[in-house]
Amino acid sequence: MEFELIAKTFMGLEQVLAQELTQMGANNVQIGRRMVSFTGDKEMMYRANFQLHTAIRILKPIKHFKARSAEEVYDEIQKIDWSEYILKGKTFSVDSVVYSEEFRNSRFVTYKVKDAIVDQFREKHGTRPNISVSNPDIRLHIHIADNDATLCLDSSGESLHRRGYRQESVEAPLNEVLAAGMILMSGWKADTDFIDPMCGSGTLAIEAALIARNISPGVFRKEFAFEKWNDFDQELFDAIYNDDTQEREFEHHIYGYDIDMKAVNTARLNVKAAGLSKEITIEQQDFKDFTKPANKSIIITNPPYGERISTPNLLGTYKMIGERLKHEFGGNDAWILSYREECFEQIGLKPSIKIPLFNGSLECEFRKYTLFDGKMKEFRQEGGIVKSEEEKREMAQKHRFKKNREFKERLEAEAANEEGDIRSFQFHSLSNDRPSYNRNNREDGRGRFNRGEEDEFDYGDRSKFRGSKRNFKNNKRDFKGRSRGVRDDYEDHDDFRPRRKDNGFKPRRGRDAKDGNRRRDKQYDRNNSFDNFDNED
């Protein structure tokens, strides 16, 4: 039986996530803001959590209703038979996101939902379930926009960006989901070498290897929230977990470089924990010493923005990047994610495409540079393509995040709701008259971003995304005084854990590991290897 599901993601990655879902076989794929809705069965929900590279969270709606007053919310929640979801002795938690004139405080809504559930148990059974904020058995999420409310089960639990391979981190680490989205957005098909010349803790390199090998990012995780549900199918999930038939060999290589030896050692540790030492080489090297690679390659990198990382002569760094690309990377493509227009200007190269992306709360751009030797005219005469037709369409929408700047003020004013809550959205029931995203017509259903109404779906023309001319100068765009790469509720913590309490970490077959069952036979001595490692939930 199919049911409605919601996959949350970063602003700007909705199209990539929709493609992933379509390739996975999801039905009724529709794009919204920071989310993609779809339908599927239990297996699809498990696979979405386990296999998607660009999803932050998978939610399962269980009730849509009107919320015109606190009493109405209470009454609607009481209509649900909660014994179907919360068994005796189990704990639960409620997360609320509210954009409503009636409800000004999301915590009030949280308490109202909690009271309705607890009161029902008291009336029917004489006992009540307990609340657990840190590690509940059942996670609930309610979203209220105006008078429309949707209550969901959170099937993911901990944010899906927490892959489980990160042992240590560096300053201003790149979110894993954003890194995967950048790679998929670039169109890299694992048909060339991959280079990150400013690799930090190695996130881009590791995500590139997972994509190249078609390895499910969920294989490193300790658990998912749906594993605590009453109807959890252990046999079905084990089959999904242990199925590596879609994995493939990678015939090229991935290189990560960084000037900081501490970052190099951190990246190497993370690569080893992911079991990808065969695919990835990490070395210490300054970008200014970068020389032309021997093989066809792509560069995807995330240089410092001068926000969270203190970088002497920031503009000089970007000028050096441009010079290295121009003189040592001809015949290849380079993609750079950055934040300041003045930094991009120092690169001194004309991008073929500019894609707006949010890195935390910073409104960045992801730019592609097509490098070639000689003059543009000669390059085109030889059949070279600077901009594809798809890239031209993207460039026509390059300012789509700039419309309705009052959204920034709203984020600052509503600090409680803004606190990194990328899960906020408004649900719409699936209907036949809305365009869908499918294999045959992938232009359909593209959403737009109306910054004055942050979380409402809009299935209109994506061209309405764009707004006024971009101006990075004289505008720090540092929401709430925070800086580059702020991760909010997906804040980077050392998130390595053994998959099961009695199992330990399971390195994967063929990559720094022994052969065996991926779920049960792989061992990793966390205590002996990382004596000072402090796990944080």
- Residue ranges per structural domain of the chain: 3-154, 176-220+252-393
Query: Above 50 in pLDDT, residue 303?
Result: yes
User: Measured between alpha carbons, how far is residue 48 from residues 31, 38, 106, 289, 478 in Å?
Assistant: 16, 10, 28, 42, 33
What is residue 245's predicted lDDT score, i.e. its pLDDT? 93
pLDDT band at 39 (very low <50, low <70, confident <90, very high): very high
pLDDT at 312: 79
What pLDDT shows up at residue 115? 95
What pLDDT is attached to residue 310? 64
Rounded mean pLDDT, 203-212: 97
Answer yes or no: is pLDDT of 344 > 90: yes
pLDDT for residue 169? 82
pLDDT score of 530: 30
- Which of 77-81, 212-216, 482-486 is the least confident region? 482-486
pLDDT tens digits along 118-175: 999 999 988 899 998 888 999 999 989 889 999 999 999 999 999 999 998 888 789 9
- Say if residue 409's pLDDT is above 70: no
Predicted local confidence at residue 25, as pLDDT: 96
C-beta of residue 216 within 8 angstroms of C-beta of residue 274? no
Question: Tell me, what's the pLDDT at 375?
Answer: 53
Which stretches does DSSP call E strand in 117-248? 130-131, 138-145, 148-154, 193-196
Q: What is the pTM of this model?
A: 0.73
- Cα distance between the two ends of the chain: 34
Q: Which residue has the higher pLDDT, 328 or 456?
A: 328
The predicted model gives 512-522 an average pLDDT of: 43
Question: pLDDT tens digits for 3-23?
Answer: 999 999 999 999 999 999 999
The contacts of residue 28 (CB under 8 Å, 6+ apart) are: 37, 38, 39, 430, 436
CATH number assigned to the domain covering 176-220+252-393: 3.40.50.150
Residue 515 above 80 pLDDT? no
Mean pLDDT of the chain, nearest integer: 77
DSSP notation for 402-430? -S-THHHHHHHHTHHHHSS-TT-------
The whole-number pLDDT of residue 476 equals 40
The pLDDT value given to residue 171? 80
**Residue 187: pLDDT above 80?**
yes
CATH architecture, domain 3-154: 2-Layer Sandwich (3.30)
- Evaluated on CA atoms 198, 202, 208, 209, the torsion sign reads positive
Confidence of residue 386 (pLDDT cuts 50, 70, 90): low
Residues 442-471: b if buried by 16+ CB within 10 A, e if exposed: eebbbbbbbbebbbbbbbeebebbbbeebe
For residue range 410-428, list pLDDT tens digits in order: 444 544 443 444 444 444 4
Mean pLDDT of 471-496: 38
Q: Is the pLDDT of residue 447 over 90?
A: no
Residue 451 is predicted with a pLDDT of: 33
Is the model's pLDDT at 390 over the cut of 50? yes
Specify the pLDDT at position 160: 96
Share of the chain above pLDDT 70, in %: 69
Over residues 279-297, the mean pLDDT reads 96
* Residue, of 63 and 485, whose pLDDT is higher: 63
Residue 401 is predicted with a pLDDT of: 46
Provide the edge-to-edge strand list for the sheet that holds 362-370.
Answer: 280-284, 254-258, 193-196, 297-301, 333-338, 362-370, 353-359
- pLDDT score recorded for residue 387: 55
pLDDT at 12: 92
Lowest mean pLDDT among 257-271, 320-334, 479-493: 479-493
pLDDT at 345 over 80: yes
Which of the four pLDDT bands, split at 50, 70 and 90, describes residue 372?
Answer: confident
Rounded mean pLDDT of 462-489?
Answer: 38
CB atoms within 10 A of CB 514: 11
Strand partners, 66: 148
For 234, the 3-state DSSP assignment is helix
pLDDT digits (tens, 9 = 90+) for 70-117: 999 999 999 999 999 999 889 999 999 888 888 888 899 999 999 999
pLDDT on residue 178? 97
pLDDT at 306: 74
pLDDT band at 475 (very low <50, low <70, confident <90, very high): very low
Predicted confidence at residue 435, as pLDDT, reads: 42
Identify which has the larger pLDDT, 54 or 105.
54
